[in-house]
Structure 1
């Protein structure tokens, strides 16, 4: 066992007035399996880069281990996979590599195929196996679940559960719950560490938030009561002081010493009330700083004139001579939320493209309602560039509603001035989802919409879909999400 100590870490990007981290201090045991959580843009990847020494910062970080970052950057993806592994880690032992690949259920033959011919899931598993060949290293694992199907996620999660000594960024709740024993969270004002998995941390956070909200309400009442009391006491003191030079109702002289003593006593009481009021205000100011505001969202789906929107009957899809899926049959009825699940490469995205009207080579029967309006969220965000205002205009959506939804999804106002090409992966996905929520459509089709999106935003989107019950066809590998949302599951 050894410790990683972070003391008074402060960092801001060049040209930025706001610190990403400010006087952050904590301690990590290198045997822990930490899940790393926080809203998009809070600085998870930035923190990894600070540990890796890529940026200058103030404060101190001490560790008796080196740090390794996943995913590795593969320069020559056309090389044989075994050569890619050798480039990353020249001194590896082959038997250890085979042991790790076996645990990840990867066959040996892929080592002799070009790396870029492997599926995303296979590439992820190969790079993870290479990562765990490194000894005396603390591992920084950044979103390994993207592009992994449901079965692969379970396999990788079980694999990580047998390991130790890492920080794992993932927004998949089931994945985290299965393989971590501590949570490190980037909050609005600090970084904190708790023992337990994500569900334990989330329950503790909800309890803490509820306590702070109740305490805030109590203190607000106390402050108002003390304000009124202080005003009354001050008024009484002033009135008593005014009588010092007067007479009583019977015409006799007042005892000025008594009156002065009474006035001083009232002033002292007034001061005591003010001190208590200030103490309550100071106590109140310590609350609510880390409460995440996740306002409800709205959707503008329109009703189609028929109950059935689309139907596939024994549909098989081909790319050239290759069949990607065979004899697919299902219907989309109004009000249904259909989860399309299956292994990577089983044809989920191809079916979505067919329904969205792309030119796809298929056999079988496909029917779609005439003048059916579809709002599509694709996996690809690489086309996003330019500012949000122009994007709203070009896509003919209401700019104020579009930006309001992004604000609710934790975009800061300063983000609105940036070029979208500089957004994080999660922020780009939120742009596509916000656009879709602004579009008046009969059917929403979302293809892996949650890649890179933080957990709290996922919960917001869940609440939206449950409240408004839009007709939705979606592909998503987050088990918790599709279990909570789907009214029907179609597995390829």
Structure 2
């Protein structure tokens, strides 16, 4: 066991006026299994890069371990997998590597195939196996689940649960719950560490947020009451002070000493109330700093004149001579939220593209009304570049609604001025989802929409789908999301 000490860490990117981290202090035990969570764009990957020494910063990071970052870059993906491992770790012990592959249920034959020919899930597992044979290293694992299907996520979470000594960035609640014992959360104003898994951290956060909101309401009332009292007392003392030069009703002169004393006493009381008011305002300013904005999203989906929007019967899809799925049968009815489930490579994306009108070779019966309007969110975000203004114009979407959705998904107004290509992976996905929610359609089709998207935004999107019940067909490997949202599941 050793400690990683972070003291007075302050960092901003060159040319930026805002610090991403400011005077951050905490301590990590290298035996811990830390889940790293926080809104998109808050600096999770940046913090990992600071640990790796990739940027200059103020403050100190001290550690007696080496840091290893996942995913490893693979510049020559045409090389055999064994050569890729040799490039990453020239001195590795083969039997140790094979032990890790076995735990991850990866066949040995992948070592003798070009790395590029492996599925995304196989590539992830191979690189994880290489990561865990490094000795005296604290591991920085950055979003390993984005290319894993639900079965693979369960397997990898069980694998990670047998290990220790890592920070894991993931937005999959179920995944985090199975393989971490501490949560490192990057909040609006600080970074904090809490013992437990994601669910226990989230419950504690909700309690703290509710306490702060209740305190905030109480202090708002106190401030108003004290403000009103201060004004009344101030007015009284002012009126009494003015009366020093007046007369009593009986015509006799006032006792100016008495009146002056009374006015001074009232003024003192007014000052005391003012101080208490200021103290309440100061106390209030300490609250709500880390309460995340998670306003409800809104959409207005078009109603369709038929109950059944599309129907597939005994559909088989092909790529060239290869059949990727067979005998798929289901209907899409208005108001349904359908999760299309299956291992990677089972044809889920092909089915989605077929329903969207893509040129996909198939056999069987597929029926869809030509007037059906569909909004599609693809896995790919590489086409997002240029200004947000141009993007809105080119896609013909409602700018007010679109930006409102992005604001509720934690976009700052400053983010609207940046080039889309500079957005984080999660922010790009939010742009696609906000686009889809802004479109007037009968059916939403989303292909792995939550990749890279932070936990709080996932919960907002869940609440939206449950409240407005739009008709949606989606592929998603986040188990919690599927369990909460889907009205039915189609297993391929």
Pair in the same fold by TM > 0.5: yes
Q: Secondary structure at the match of 2:463?
A: helix
Distance 1:205 1:85 in 2: 41
User: What residue number does 1:45 align with?
Assistant: 45
Distance 1:304 1:265 in 2: 74
Distance 1:301 1:121 in 2: 35
The answer on 1:318 being equivalent to 2:305 is: no
Distance 1:461 1:260 in 2: 65
User: What residue number does 2:439 align with?
Assistant: 439
Tell me the CA shift for residue 256 of structure 1. 2.7
Distance 1:286 1:50 in 2: 29
Tell me the CA shift for residue 449 of structure 1. 0.3
Distance 1:170 1:6 in 2: 22
**For residues 358-404 of structure 1, what are the alpha-carbon distances to aligned partners after superposition, in whole Å with 9 as ceiling and x for unaligned?**
11111111111221111100011111111111111111111221111
User: What residue number does 1:385 align with?
Assistant: 385
**For residues 330-363 of structure 1, what are the alpha-carbon distances to aligned partners after superposition, in whole Å with 9 as ceiling and x for unaligned?**
1111111110000000000011111111111111
Distance 2:300 2:152 in 1: 35
The answer on 1:450 being equivalent to 2:450 is: yes
**For residues 64-91 of structure 1, what are the alpha-carbon distances to aligned partners after superposition, in whole Å with 9 as ceiling and x for unaligned?**
1111110000111111111111111111
Distance 2:216 2:158 in 1: 42
Tell me the CA shift for residue 417 of structure 1. 1.2
Deviates more, 1:248-257 or 1:154-163: 248-257
Q: Secondary structure at the match of 1:145?
A: helix
Unaligned runs of 5+ in 1: none
Alignment of 1:66-81 (within 5 A): 66-81=66-81
What value does the CA root-mean-square deviation take over the aligned residues?
1.0
User: What residue number does 2:261 align with?
Assistant: 261
Tell me the CA shift for residue 210 of structure 1. 0.7
Tell me the CA shift for residue 196 of structure 1. 0.7
Distance 1:227 1:399 in 2: 41
Tell me the CA shift for residue 324 of structure 1. 0.5
Tell me the CA shift for residue 131 of structure 1. 0.4
User: What residue number does 1:179 align with?
Assistant: 179
Q: Secondary structure at the match of 2:110?
A: helix
Tell me the CA shift for residue 253 of structure 1. 3.7
Tell me the CA shift for residue 169 of structure 1. 0.4
User: What residue number does 2:121 align with?
Assistant: 121
User: What residue number does 2:225 align with?
Assistant: 225
Q: Secondary structure at the match of 2:315?
A: strand
User: What residue number does 2:94 align with?
Assistant: 94
Deviates more, 1:238-247 or 1:10-19: 238-247
Distance 1:243 1:43 in 2: 63
User: What residue number does 1:170 align with?
Assistant: 170
Distance 2:399 2:243 in 1: 65
Alignment of 1:296-307 (within 5 A): 296-307=296-307
**For residues 422-478 of structure 1, what are the alpha-carbon distances to aligned partners after superposition, in whole Å with 9 as ceiling and x for unaligned?**
111101111111110111111110000000000111011001101111111100000
User: What residue number does 1:355 align with?
Assistant: 355
The answer on 1:8 being equivalent to 2:8 is: yes
Distance 1:453 1:445 in 2: 17
Unaligned runs of 5+ in 2: none
User: What residue number does 2:235 align with?
Assistant: 235
Q: Secondary structure at the match of 1:242?
A: helix
Alignment of 1:176-215 (within 5 A): 176-215=176-215
**For residues 103-153 of structure 1, what are the alpha-carbon distances to aligned partners after superposition, in whole Å with 9 as ceiling and x for unaligned?**
111111111111111000000000001000111111110000001000000
Distance 2:326 2:251 in 1: 109
Distance 1:107 1:401 in 2: 49
The answer on 1:329 being equivalent to 2:310 is: no
Tell me the CA shift for residue 170 of structure 1. 0.4
**For residues 156-209 of structure 1, what are the alpha-carbon distances to aligned partners after superposition, in whole Å with 9 as ceiling and x for unaligned?**
000110111111000000000111011111111111111111111111111111
Distance 2:267 2:306 in 1: 76
User: What residue number does 2:277 align with?
Assistant: 277
User: What residue number does 1:463 align with?
Assistant: 463
Aligned length: 492
Q: TM-score, normalised by structure 2?
A: 0.99
Instruction: Say if 1:399 and 1:247 are closer, same or farther in 2 by CA, change over 3 A.
Output: closer
Distance 1:490 1:155 in 2: 22
**For residues 303-352 of structure 1, what are the alpha-carbon distances to aligned partners after superposition, in whole Å with 9 as ceiling and x for unaligned?**
11111111111111111111101111111111111100000000000111
**For residues 32-58 of structure 1, what are the alpha-carbon distances to aligned partners after superposition, in whole Å with 9 as ceiling and x for unaligned?**
101011110000000011111100110
The answer on 1:28 being equivalent to 2:13 is: no
Q: Secondary structure at the match of 2:252?
A: coil
Distance 1:50 1:417 in 2: 26
